[in-house]
Amino acid sequence: MNGSIAASPENPILLSRVAESAYWAGRYLERAEGMARLIKSHSELVIDLPRAGGLGWEPLLAVVGTELGPEYDLHTEEAVVDHLAHNHGNPGSICTAIEGVHYNLRVTRSVMPIEAAELIIELHTIANNDGRPANDRRTRRQWLTNIMRSCQTLSAILNDTMTHDDAFSFFTIGRQLERADLTTRVLDVHAGVLTGRPTDALAPYTGLCWAATLRSVSMLQAFRRRGVSASPTATLEFLLNDNNCPRTVRSCIDEASRWLLELPQNHEAITACAAVGSFLEDADVEELAIGDLHGFADRLEVAISEIHQKIHTTWFRPATTAVLS
């Protein structure tokens, strides 16, 4: 067998296992932040809406595709929030996500800047606060804000100090895919519930609800700056296809593709990204706003997870054992 590939200063060797951890560190970091924002904006919406609107907390559970475990008696606000924020047994909770960040960044220590270490510990400490502060409306907002701020600071530090090498690519791709995924799920559940057949009681508040949808993915401000009214079609088009705002599905996928281009053997993953791109392009938002948004979002989610699959088989668990020359 002739030699193998050599490392170069621009192209340091990255173990598949470490790449996988960098990718998951990105995903978990984004998940923790996204979940915190989601709970926060939903809390605000619930406060804004009249009780009669019948808006409960179940939609939030649907977003993360989880159900309350037997340890919770009722679908109360406190139970749902506790499950989504503090429950270590829930793979989609903020705590679990931060545990995931902590673990994966430990694995990737060798490729992560030392400055991040302190923040990770801090984030971990906030997340594991014994008091379950998210459950109480009085402390919830502050705790969620702290989580979001710490996540953002950590992202910023990693962005600013990490060498833009393969590890950084995987980290960024993980973040972008998680973000695209979250925006899609929010659309699926949050907006889907509202656009399909809004209950009579909620009808007067659809504007509020759309605003909440945008807020939950941190895009309300950006959207308003466009000066368009918050019609379902305009909002949908914006959430899916806007290519300036960093949290729309399109922006996330474009950004992921951009970083995939930096990696070797990226053909399959790039193709999967392109498939999501054309899927978005072909979306008829007029139709979707009154039609099968749920089915659309499902298909979009599947298309996004296809990118994940390709990344997984190409770099994390390559089937081939051939030595590259």
Partner 1 sequence: MKSDWTGYSSITFDELVDGDGKPRTGNEAVFQRLADLGPALVERQRAAEAEIRSMGITFTLYTEGSSIDRAWPIDVIPRIITASEWNTISGGLIQRLKALNMFIEDVYNEQNVVNDGILPAQWLEDSANFRTECCGVHPAGGVWAHISGSDLVRDATGQMMVLEDNLRVPSGVSYMLENRQISKRVFADLFRDLDIHPLDNYTEELGKMLSKLSPRDDVEPVIALLTPGIFNSAYYEHGMLATQIGAHLVEGSDLQVVDNIVYMKTVRGLVRVDVIYRRVDDLFLDPAVFRSDSTLGAAGLMAAWRAGNVALANAPGAGVADDKVLYSYVPDFIRYYLNEEPTLPNVPTWRCMEPDHRQHVLANLDSLVCKPANESGGKGVTIGNRATEEELDHLRTEIETDPRNWIAQPILSLSTSPTLCDGIIAPRHIDLRPFVLSSDEPFVSVGGLTRVALREGSLIVNSSQGGGSKDTWIVDESVRPDRLLEHRQPGQQQVQRSGNGQNPS
Number of Cβ atoms within 10 Å of the Cβ of 272: 23
CA distance 79 to 136: 11
- Site stretch for partner 1 (CB under 8 A), options 2-10, 63-71, 72-80, 237-245: 2-10
Task: Tell me: does residue 5 bind partner 1 (CB under 8 A).
Answer: yes
Applying the rule CB under 8 A, the residues between 163 and 182 that interact with partner 1 are 166, 170
User: Which of 115, 136 has the CB closer to partner 1?
Assistant: 115
Task: Pick one of 66, 92, 103, 306: the residue that binds partner 1 (CB under 8 A).
Answer: 103
Applying the rule CB under 8 A, the residues between 232 and 291 that interact with partner 1 are 263-264
CA distance 180 to 275: 14
Q: C-beta of 175: minimal distance to partner 1 in Å?
A: 17
User: Which of 16, 278 has the CB closer to partner 1?
Assistant: 16
Which amino acid, 121?
Answer: I
Number of Cβ atoms within 10 Å of the Cβ of 243: 11
Residue 103, classed as helix, strand or coil, is helix
* CA angle in degrees (0–180, nearest 5) for 16-264-2: 80
- Site stretch for partner 1 (CB under 8 A), options 15-23, 135-143, 153-161, 217-225: 15-23
Task: Tell me: does residue 115 bind partner 1 (CB under 8 A).
Answer: no
Q: C-beta of 158: minimal distance to partner 1 in Å?
A: 16
Task: Tell me: does residue 16 bind partner 1 (CB under 8 A).
Answer: yes
Identify whether the C-beta of residue 204 lies closer than 8 Å to the C-beta of residue 309: no
Q: C-beta of 308: minimal distance to partner 1 in Å?
A: 15
Residues 6+ apart with CB under 8 A from 176: 26, 252, 253, 255, 256, 259
- Site stretch for partner 1 (CB under 8 A), options 68-76, 104-112, 272-280, 293-301: 104-112
Identify whether the C-beta of residue 169 lies closer than 8 Å to the C-beta of residue 262: yes
Count of positions on this chain that bind partner 1 (CB under 8 A) = 33
Task: Tell me: does residue 323 bind partner 1 (CB under 8 A).
Answer: yes
Applying the rule CB under 8 A, the residues between 180 and 239 that interact with partner 1 are none
CA distance 325 to 199: 63
Beta bridge pairs of residue 11: 8
User: Which of 213, 266 has the CB closer to partner 1?
Assistant: 266
The candidate with the shortest Cα–Cα distance to 151, out of 217, 236, 94, is 94
Task: Pick one of 56, 71, 121, 197: the residue that binds partner 1 (CB under 8 A).
Answer: 121
User: Which of 72, 103 has the CB closer to partner 1?
Assistant: 103
Tokens (6 digits) for 227: 């000066």
Alpha helices in 49-76 (DSSP H): 58-64
Task: Tell me: does residue 2 bind partner 1 (CB under 8 A).
Answer: no
86: DSSP letter: T
CA distance 244 to 215: 17
- Site stretch for partner 1 (CB under 8 A), options 100-108, 155-163, 222-230, 272-280: 100-108
Q: C-beta of 173: minimal distance to partner 1 in Å?
A: 12
Instruction: Point out which residues bind partner 1 (CB under 8 A).
Output: 1, 3-7, 11, 13-19, 103, 106-107, 109-110, 117-118, 120-121, 166, 170, 263-264, 315, 318, 321-324
